Amino acid sequence: MEQSFRNVYDDRQRARAYAQLDFPGTYHLAFRDLPTLFRKYVQGTRALDFGCYTGRSTRFLQRLGFATVGVDISPAMLDLARTTDPRGDYRLVTAATLAKIEQTFDLILAAFTFDNIPTDAAKVEALRSLRQLLAPGGSLIVVVSTPAIYLHEWASFSTRDFPENRRARDGDPVRIIMLDLPDRRPVEDVVCSDAHYRELFAHTDLIVRELANPLATGAEPVKWVSETCIAPWSVYVLGAA
Ligand SMILES: C[S@@+](CC[C@H](N)C(=O)[O-])C[C@H]1O[C@@H](n2cnc3c(N)ncnc32)[C@H](O)[C@@H]1O
């Protein structure tokens, strides 16, 4: 199953629309608590945005004062990131070249990137490289979708057309529609449970310092669907063991 996976984000039409997205609806919860976690765990201002796509998460880090390098495997997406942010530092990487970046970072953010890395072997390779790029005491913050996101309805996502998501196990593809974009073609991700992420982190000598599963309070000006009682995102704060 894993072999049929393709990087659905590597698509210009979707990317142009995504490039205009800020942090609407359900996305707000993925980013809401990051500044607090950064204050708690990150000393220093050198940051790497792993899987920067069109640069939204890179610009988020820049606005918080981090000198940020955005990296991605998609040249077309990096072009879009540079168009929006001509002064930003965006670099093309491959699985093989990632660890060769000649810098270390106080903070590495991977926002939704691991949802799109298809195999355990590729996840492990990426985690090993990212661990190498951490400065002493640095933090790797991995934001991923919980398996629950693929089973429920949300302010920003729909999964009701994909009942087969219920049968998906670690490493299987799952589909979800992004409601904040006019492009309603489903996005294909790879599901990965908390238990499985923890195995992969342990395997790569990364320790979990904190796991946050942000919920909406109900006070936000958003018509929440499941977000006040089911967590759509997991935010892992990791460090080198
Ligand atoms: C969901 S998008 C990331 C969104 C972005 N971080 C944000 O918050 O807006 C996932 C990105 O990860 C990139 N990606 C997937 N595998 C990667 C890898 N091994 N190394 C670097 N980037 C990768 C894809 O090309 C895609 O741009």
Strands annotated E in the chain: 46-50, 67-72, 89-92, 105-111, 134-145, 157-158, 173-178, 187-190, 206-212, 233-240
Q: Is residue 31 part of a domain?
A: yes
Q: Is residue 166 part of a domain?
A: no
Taking the centre of ligand 1 as the mean of its atom positions, its distance from the CA of residue 219, in whole angstroms, is 31
pLDDT along the chain (241 residues), means of 10: 53 74 92 98 98 96 98 94 96 96 98 97 98 98 98 98 98 97 92 98 98 97 97 98 95
Closest by alpha carbon to 119, among 221, 4, 28, 38?
A: 4
- What's the gap between Cα 43 and its chain centre? 21
Mutate to test the pocket of ligand 1, among 8, 84, 113 (most ligand atoms within 8 A of CB): 113
Q: Which residue, judged by its Cα, is nearest atom 27 of ligand 1?
A: 53
What DSSP designation does 211 have?
Answer: E
CA-CA distance, 223 to 225, in Å (whole number)? 7
Q: In the chain, how many domains are there? A: 1
Taking the centre of ligand 1 as the mean of its atom positions, its distance from the CA of residue 183, in whole angstroms, is 19
Q: Is residue 100 part of a domain?
A: yes
Range of the domain at 122: 2-147+190-240
Q: Is residue 185 part of a domain?
A: no
Q: Is residue 174 part of a domain?
A: no
Amino acid 2: pLDDT: 39
Q: Is residue 175 part of a domain?
A: no
Q: Is residue 161 part of a domain?
A: no
Taking the centre of ligand 1 as the mean of its atom positions, its distance from the CA of residue 10, in whole angstroms, is 9
Task: Residue 24: give its domain's CATH number.
Answer: 3.40.50.150
Amino acid 7: pLDDT: 65
Mutate to test the pocket of ligand 1, among 73, 85, 192, 233 (most ligand atoms within 8 A of CB): 73
CA-CA distance, 124 to 220, in Å (whole number)? 37
Amino acid 20: pLDDT: 73
Taking the centre of ligand 1 as the mean of its atom positions, its distance from the CA of residue 201, in whole angstroms, is 19
Q: Is residue 231 part of a domain?
A: yes
